[in-house]
């Protein structure tokens, strides 16, 4: 019943975001066509459109709401958002298009704010860890605006930290040897956030403030077992938290391997 209410509710679908992504896709296709034939950039077009599609699924659909009811589903959403989508978008931008874009005066000024990839990686990892601490979750759950700003900051940092592997500009990428060292470093600094769920599962339980907030908004009676009417056992148990940590490790590793492989292939343009 609640699934039907979510998926059948037009407000649960972010139509404004969909319109913005469609506009981005059309603009991207027009720019690609301006610089050459579409088939010359078929692989990059596929990656870019795939990233846009994934972004809408994890952010703009009712699945985004449902993901907050479970640690494992939430970490799957976060992992795709930060470890899969940014490198796909970067790898989907042809070098010629990238060169022309940075001739724009506004983007030239923005380039002065560019963080080093390693600094971005460390800041992202720290903020990502803090985000999943109970005290931070409880604070952000009370203020949607602050929560969205926090997630946006993580998303921007994610692009900077993926540049050495997936930048449209080959000169910004590390050498193959340095890239391997960077991917190892990335795995190490992301590890604490993953281990937080696994360790917590063996020590104590972690309340999910976002799930509590959503069930209240959906008018779920407390005697129904809260989120368990949507996601039954083993969701929101210690097993769910262990799965969350393992999922994040797995998706991060997959994102690194995929980006490393694609980033070392011969340029498509």
**pLDDT for the residue numbered 268:** 43
φ, ψ at 169 (rounded to 5°): -95, 110
Closest of 66, 227, 71 to residue 134, by C-alpha: 71
- Where are the domains positioned within the chain? 2-263
d(CA 37, CA 57): 29
**pLDDT for the residue numbered 168:** 87
- Angle (CA) 60-65-69 rounded to 5° is 155
**pLDDT for the residue numbered 224:** 41
**pLDDT for the residue numbered 161:** 92
- For residue 14, give the DSSP letter: -
- Pinpoint the alpha helices (H) of the chain: 2-8, 15-35, 42-60, 62-66, 71-79, 85-91, 95-101, 105-111, 117-131, 134-141, 144-166, 176-203, 209-217, 238-263
Helices 209-217/134-141 angle, 10° precision: 30
d(CA 77, CA 2): 20
Q: Find the largest Cα–Cα distance for the chain.
A: 61
d(CA 208, CA 226): 11
**pLDDT for the residue numbered 24:** 94
User: How do the pLDDT tens digits run along the chain, 269 residues long?
Assistant: 445 555 555 566 888 999 999 999 999 988 888 776 667 678 888 999 999 999 999 998 888 877 777 778 888 899 999 999 999 999 998 888 877 776 665 566 666 666 788 999 999 999 998 888 878 877 887 888 888 899 999 999 999 999 999 888 888 888 888 888 888 899 899 888 878 777 776 666 555 555 554 444 444 444 444 444 455 555 556 677 788 888 888 999 999 888 888 876 644 44
Cis amide bond preceding 234, omega within 30: yes
**pLDDT for the residue numbered 219:** 42
**pLDDT for the residue numbered 81:** 94
Structure tokens at 125: 């990892």
Closest of 92, 112, 131 to residue 244, by C-alpha: 131
**pLDDT for the residue numbered 174:** 82
pTM to 2 decimal places: 0.82
d(CA 50, CA 25): 11
Structure tokens at 223: 């005697």
Q: Which H or E run contains 93?
A: none
d(CA 179, CA 175): 6
User: What's the first-to-final CA gap in the chain, in angstroms?
Assistant: 50
Residues with Cβ within 8 Å of 120's Cβ and at least 6 positions away in sequence, in order, are 157, 160, 161
Structure tokens at 193: 């956030």
Residues with Cβ within 8 Å of 56's Cβ and at least 6 positions away in sequence, in order, are 14, 17, 18, 21
Closest of 66, 44, 65 to residue 168, by C-alpha: 44
């Amino acid at each position: 019943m609640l699934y039907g209410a979510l998926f059948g509710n037009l407000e649960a679908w972010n139509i404004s975001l969909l319109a913005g992504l469609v506009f981005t896709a059309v603009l991207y296709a027009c720019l690609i066509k301006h610089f050459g034939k579409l088939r010359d950039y078929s692989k990059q077009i596929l990656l870019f459109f795939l990233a846009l599609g994934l972004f809408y699924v994890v952010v703009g659909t009712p699945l985004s709401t449902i993901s907050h009811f479970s640690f494992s589903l939430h970490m799957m959403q976060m992992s795709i958002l930060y470890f899969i989508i940014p490198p796909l978008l970067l790898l989907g931008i042809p070098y010629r298009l990238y060169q022309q874009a940075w001739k724009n005066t506004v983007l030239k000024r923005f380039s002065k704010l560019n963080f080093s990839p390693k600094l971005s990686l460390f800041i992202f990892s720290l903020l990502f860890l803090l985000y999943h601490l109970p005290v931070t979750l409880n604070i952000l759950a009370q203020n949607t605006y602050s929560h969205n700003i926090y997630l946006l900051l993580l998303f921007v940092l994610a692009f900077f930290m993926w540049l050495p592997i997936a930048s449209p500009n080959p000169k910004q990428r590390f050498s193959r040897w340095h890239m391997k060292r960077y991917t190892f470093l990335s795995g190490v600094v992301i590890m604490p956030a993953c281990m937080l769920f696994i360790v917590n599962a063996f020590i104590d339980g972690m309340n999910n403030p976002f799930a509590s907030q959503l069930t209240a908004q959906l008018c779920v009676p407390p005697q129904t077992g809260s989120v368990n009417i949507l996601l039954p056992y083993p969701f929101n148990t210690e097993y769910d938290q262990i799965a969350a940590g393992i999922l994040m490790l797995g998706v991060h590793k997959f994102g690194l391997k995929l980006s490393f492989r694609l980033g070392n292939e011969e340029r498509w343009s």
